[in-house]
Amino acid sequence: MNELTHFTDAGRARMVDVSEKPGTKRVAIASGVLRMQPETLARIRTGSIAKGDVLTVADVGAVMAAKRTADIIPMCHALALTGVEVVFSDIAEPDAGGCVGIKVVTTTSCVGQTGVEMEALCAASVALLSIYDMCKAIDRGMRIEYIQLEEKRGGKSGVWTRPE
């Protein structure tokens, strides 16, 4: 396990100084799932949610969240992102409770001195929260699951991929 660098020797929280680190290309991929009733997914896919195009709003929300991550996560550096990609896919196979779902995969990238993992995770979270917000009137039992980092590339630690 790596030493935690967001704390001083006295145990105080701090933002890590990355000024001596070289800038490198950084990429992070995160994912998450929103489980819902089959009827809710069908209404999202047919565009019959009263608030509008759910996935377009969630896509924009994800990009906005990635860009504003440093405003939300206290010790996170503000980064000049070079890209944010958001991909949604259906989970048609019902779980034990009969719920289907939408999976989101977000990819963030930059050239910088620190990674973009938090930006990818924030993007995935806000994408799913945006869908929840737009559909909660018809399905309050939706649940967000498995928000997780899938892969990161770049920097001194190189490549990390979630084990299967």
Is 9 a residue of the active site? no
Q: Which of 40, 162, 154 is nearest to 102 (CA)?
A: 40
Q: What number of other Cβ atoms are within 10 A of residue 61's Cβ?
A: 21
Specify whether the CB–CB gap between 148 and 159 falls below 8 A: no
Q: What is the DSSP string of 69-107?
A: HHHHSTTPPP--EEEEEEEEEEE-S--TTS-EEEEEEEE
Q: Which residue has the tokens 């737009």?
A: 134
**Contact in structure between 104 and 86 (CB atoms under 8 Å):** yes
The residue annotated as part of the active site, out of 17, 59, 133, 139, is 133
What residues are labeled active site? 133
